[in-house]
Amino acid sequence: REVGRFANFDNENKVSQLNEVQQHVLDTIQNYFGWNRKEDQESRSKKQDDENYELRSTKDEIKNENKHIPEIEESSINNRLSSIPKEVVLLHGVTSSGKTEIYVKLIEQAIAQGKQVLYLLPEIALTTQIINRLRKYFGDAVGVYHSKFNENERVEVWRNVLQVQNRKSEAGSFNSGSATNNNQPTTNYKLIVGARSALFLPYSNLGLVIVDEEHDTSYKQYDPAPRYNARDAAIYLAHIHKAKTLLGSATPCLETYYNAQEGKYGFVEINQRFGGVQMPEILIADVKEATRKKLMKSHFSPLLLDTVTLALEQKEQVVLFQNRRGFAPQLECNMCAWVPHCTNCDVSLTFHKASNQLRCHYCGYATKPPSKCAACGDTDIKMKGFGTEKIEEELSIFFPKAKIARMDLDTTRSKFAHQHIIQDFEDGNIDILVGTQMVTKGLDFDNVTMVGVLNADSMLNFPDFRSFERSYQLMAQVSGRAGRKNKRGKVIIQTQNPDHVIIQDVIENNFLSMYTQQLSDRKDFNYPPYYRLIEITLIHKEIEMVNASAKYLADELKRHFQKRVLGPEFPLVSRIRNLYHKNILLKIERDASVAQVKKIVNDLLVQFKTKSDYKSVRVQMDVDPM
């Protein structure tokens, strides 16, 4: 057992070397955390004199950046430089910029201080790749924790986190590098890697929390309650432990980036990929134009098909992204436009070809596809739209020799399914990987040179104030899978709106442009980060009850919060599992007293629940809904 190597952080021969950019980023983060020793600081200030790479951390560069962001006042920049240290730091590094190596150095340092480290990832799928890398550095000191483990496995992890607590008094031995631990059980964990449920392990001695891909919506736990964002909960957990939090992302969440720009968080940026790998070339396939010229082959533009062909000829791998699973999102009668709907929910049923079923993605209801229209009896029923299953099938027609696999919720239900698909792809047993947003997230594959986005418009047109930000994040993230050391990656985005501002931002890799535009919209329309949102959902099996109770509660709320109350309004899908839903949205100024708002809302809800008419109405609260 090589506990000693954690103590050898200073011995550069025993740990891999960071490049200059990474070293600078590491120095900056350590500085924010107050983890530097004096001699380090001296050598760093010498080094800073001859820096010539693209990093925004000197004062002049920050001033320069200031020109693009009118919201930042000169004073807040001075403040940002002087208000070091920070509890939370945002590391904004483009895809493949070598963030993991920086994490490793910080983890080593925290462990050397006798502390525990929590490394959060948004998806279980991601833990597979990361864990293999981290085991090379930390061996048995790494524990993995997520919800796909069975109870026994979870108990074991729980115990191994607890053991550290029991032996806390011996923590000093890590610093001295002595071998006194050799007779102790060797399984207790210094580093826990996990999805959001790993937040609730019995830590006693946390020193560092890393939230990787901090923008990811999978960090939000919604159903069942408690409703929380694991990123925000992690920051609070770290705060309780007087630990530091590092947020990492190539496409930070708007609120997080804003907090960094405002100086609430420390901020450090990497604008280039590791090892001189170029950012991918992003090309647009104009689907409208191709359709007009009758060049589309089903859902594929000539540009996309040609690029896939070329990649396959070069024995390179391809990732294709389509944000719908199943075969076709809906069926429709060609005569009368009748659409089969779920019997329990107000939503159309998705056709799944492999199982020959129509399925509801909200409640799981499944039925056989109808042979004729239920409204007019016509047998001409066509499929509308396309999901990953259809893409997979059509690819096998266009590329009969290619090995094609699909990664979405339907193919990853079993415990090791993710792992197997990722392993197969890494081993070169798959040529084309088709998937939902699962394929966009942080996976690194050495031989992927081409990425295709089948339908950018469905994301951009989604009715939500975050849809532009999300679209940018998804497209930038999936693009990040393309490219390798000696070959620039290629990304093809299929869209009806080539001039869309978000598409242009993605092409130019211009996060700042997206951020600035979105921020100004959020300000104009009172959305986060300027306002906090609280969504109150009323649920009942009778629509009249939902309507009446929602109106009553909204009126009560308006007496206190006036125009900060929006709705009540039916959500996109208003009936789920035979229960009607209606939303009231509260928009509260960022600087308002949270405690006061909480008290008023709570009092109103108590009053609401005691009104006999509405006792049977279920009320759900979601603070900071996503």
- Residues near Zn ion (CB under 5 A) are 333, 335-336, 338, 342, 344-345, 360, 362-363, 365, 373, 375-376, 378
What is the closest distance, in whole angstroms, from the C-beta atom of residue 222 to Zn ion in the complex? 17
State in angstroms the smallest separation of the CB of 617 from Zn ion.
Answer: 21
Cα distance between residue 214 and residue 265, in whole Å? 14
C-alpha to C-alpha distances, 580 to 353, 465, 535, 590, 604, nearest whole angstrom: 30, 23, 16, 31, 22
Tell me how far the alpha carbon of residue 425 is from its chain's centroid: 22
Strands (E), 44-164: 88-93, 116-120, 142-145
Complex with Zn ion: residue 81 or 376, whichever CB lies closer: 376
User: Minimal distance in Å, beta carbon 367 to Zn ion?
Assistant: 10
User: CB 102 → Zn ion: shortest distance, Å?
Assistant: 45
Closest to Zn ion by CB, 355 or 607: 355
| Structural tokens at position 465 | 């104030």
Strand locations in 73-172 (E): 88-93, 116-120, 142-145
**Nearer to Zn ion among residue 81 and residue 374 (C-beta):** 374
Angle ∠(60,65,71) on CA atoms, nearest 5: 120
Q: What is the DSSP string of 286-307?
A: EHHHHHHTT--BTTB-HHHHHH
- Distance of alpha carbon 292 from the chain centroid: 36
Choice between 364 and 428, CB closer to Zn ion: 364
Give the bridge partners for 330, in sequence order.
384
187 or 578: CB nearest Zn ion: 578
Inter-helix orientation angle 467-479/511-524, to 10°: 170
Give the DSSP letter string of 382-444: EEES--HHHHHHHHHHH-TTS-EEEESGGG--STTHHHHHHHHHHTT--SEEEESGGGGSS--
In whole angstroms, what is the distance from residue 274 CA to residue 329 CA?
39
Closest to Zn ion by CB, 289 or 378: 378
Q: Which residue, 328 or 506, is less far from Zn ion as judged by CB?
A: 328
Least Cβ distance, residue 355 to Zn ion (angstroms): 16
Structure tokens at 29: 């983060």
Distance in Å, CB of 348 to Zn ion, minimum: 10
Which is closer to Zn ion, CB of 138 or CB of 327? 327
C-alpha span between 153 and 150 (Å, rounded):
5
Q: Alpha-carbon distance 601 to 86, whole Å?
A: 33
Closest CB 414 distance from Zn ion, rounded Å: 23
Q: Minimal distance in Å, beta carbon 385 to Zn ion?
A: 18
Question: Of 206 and 360, which CB lies nearer to Zn ion in the complex structure?
Answer: 360
CA distance 233 to 26: 24
DSSP H helix total and E strand total for the chain: 21, 25
Q: How far is the CB of 380 from Zn ion (least distance, A)?
A: 8
Q: CA separation (Å) from 227 to 245, 357, 502, 594?
A: 21, 32, 30, 17
Q: Contact at 8 Å (CB) between 404 and 396?
A: yes
Q: Residue 546 CB, nearest distance to Zn ion (Å)?
A: 17
* Cα separation values, 4 from 8, 100, 174, 506, Å: 7, 22, 7, 45
Select 225 or 336, whichever has its Cβ closest to Zn ion.
336
Measure the CA–CA gap between 273 and 464, rounded to whole angstroms: 32
The smaller minimum CB distance to Zn ion, of residues 385 and 489, is found at 385
Minimal distance in Å, beta carbon 335 to Zn ion?
4
The distance of closest approach from Cβ of residue 574 to Zn ion in the complex, given in angstroms and rounded to an integer, is: 12
Q: Of 153 and 380, which has the nearer Cβ to Zn ion? A: 380
